[in-house]
Structure 1
Amino acid sequence: MDLAALVASRVCHDIISPVGAITNGLEVLDEEGSEDMREFAMDLIRKSARQASAKLQFARLAFGAAGSAGAEIDLGDAQVVATGFMENEKSNLNWQLERHLMPKNFVKLLLNLILIANQCVPRGGEIKVEMSGTPQSPSFTLNAAGLNPRIPLGMKETLSGEEPERVDAHSVQPIYSLLLARECGMELTIDKDEDCVKITALPTE
């Protein structure tokens, strides 16, 4: 129950900002009479609505049920939602995966690893996503390169399976990623060199 509540908090945290901006834009439309302000408000509403939609579509695939047990997801659809999400972030997404049908938990794990990679380049950069193996037994490699990349505090320990000191809406996402990896029979690693953070998800067998 706590995991579900914390994941829900994480999703709500992500969409509060664009939804709040839509509300602000509507208030400007109600109060302002000038054409310039009305056009500004409409631009704000359009942009924020696109952001909210992209974040919700991403969250639905990354955290949601995504079909029945044993369901497969088109990696092309995953690329679309990941690209839409990253359009609102500072980093660019370099998606190197071919289009396949893949078991849903692998896709959910991959999207969650993109979220982790994005946290590693807070000033922006490039997140390169690659896969080897087969859709039924993949290995994922993500390289997050940018200015002063970093591994968030506690992230390395959490992904390696250590119990985090504190569990909240911010730390729940790597915990959820670890649980997904275990469900997929995969092991996660995260390491950093001077200008890049590398994340891998490899089969345990």
Structure 2
Amino acid sequence: MSAEPDGGLDPLDLAALIATRLCHDMAGPVGAVANGAELLGDDPAMIDAEALGLLTGSAAGASLRLRTLRAAFGLAGAVEPGDLPRQLSAWAGARCAVTLPPRDALTALAPEPLRLLLNLALLATETAVAPATLVVEVQGDRLAAAAEGRAPRLEPAMVEAVAGRTDGLGPRTVQAWLTGALGRRLGGTVEVAATASGSTAAIVLPQG
């Protein structure tokens, strides 16, 4: 792949990377639903209320995860402010405490900055092992997300992807690349900084 920032990435390569990432992220949830459905088909009498509840929960989780990925990777406007609490809580995991800005701060954002904010949050969770906290902030023209977990995993490849480098870009780092590209398209620069146990991803957008 090209080493040039942003414009040097072949659109076909980008499409392939995003498709691979989507399939990877959905393989587990969809697989759990498929396994449950197979058991139900083999012997419906063996499915008790608890197993049926797990199957229903897996289906709901897969649907929510898919909506999150569509909002992050799809066209601007797919992000619904009211969905963010459930989406990020499900994405980060039940053990992660998620703090979001007030709803009016989210609804005040235009579609593209709102999608960028979602991607900043996803990026932050990627750079902390088993995140325990995720704090998303909107402070004037500054958008930020910070995650802390057992340990940081802010790899050089992730930082380079955010900066727009495409050498070695893969399915795991393509979301970081997309986050940086969205930020630059809005006139800012996404910065990712390591903390003791995680990272902060932030951008300051031009006023107006």
| TM-score using structure 2 length | 0.81
1:146 aligns with one of 149, 152, 162: 149
Judging changes above 3 Å, is the alpha-carbon distance between structure 1 residues 155 and 32 closer, same or farther for their aligned structure 2 residues? same
Partner of 1:55: 65
Q: Name 1:8's counterpart in structure 2.
A: 19
The reply on whether 1:102 has 2:133 as its aligned counterpart is no
Q: Which one is further off, 142-151 or 176-185?
A: 142-151
Residue matched to 2:119: 112
Comparing 142-151 and 104-113, the one that deviates more = 142-151
Residue 158 (structure 1) aligned to one of 156, 161, 177: 161
| Contact map agreement 2:161 2:174 (CA 8 A) in 1 | no
- What aligned pairs does 1:19-98 form with structure 2 within 5 A after superposition? 19-32=30-43, 35=46, 37-67=47-77, 75-86=81-92, 88=93, 90-98=95-103
Identity among equivalent pairs (%) = 28
User: Do 1:159 and 1:188's aligned partners in 2 also have CA atoms closer than 8 Å?
Assistant: yes
Deviations 1:59-110 (A, max 9, x none): 121111244xxxx965334344333433x46533211344223221111111
Deviates more, 1:138-147 or 1:18-27: 138-147
CA-CA distance at 1:173 after TM superposition: 0.8
| Structure (1/2) with the larger helix percentage | 2
- Tell me, in whole angstroms, the C-alpha distance in 2 between the residues paired with 1:122 and 1:89: 14
CA distance 1:46–1:153, shift in 2 (3 Å):
farther
Task: Work out the CA distance in 2 between the residues paired with 1:7 and 1:13.
Answer: 10
- The amino acid across from 1:195 in the alignment is S
Give, in angstroms, the shift of residue 184 of structure 1.
1.2
Structure 1 unmatched ranges of 5 or more: none
In 2, distance between residues paired with 1:57 and 1:33? 30
Q: CA RMSD in A?
A: 2.4
Range that drifts further, 194-203 or 114-123: 194-203
The match for 2:4 is none
Taking CA–CA contacts closer than 8 Å with sequence separation of 6 or more, which of the two structures ends up with the larger relative contact order?
2
Structure-2 separation of matches of 1:78 and 1:33:
36
Residue 204 of structure 1 deviates from its aligned partner by 5.8
TM-score, with length taken from structure 1:
0.82
Distance verdict in 2 for CA 1:26–1:196, change over 3 Å: closer
CA distance in 1: counterparts of 2:44 and 2:138, whole angstroms: 54
Q: Which runs of 5+ in 2 are unaligned?
A: 1-11
- What is the aligned residue count? 194
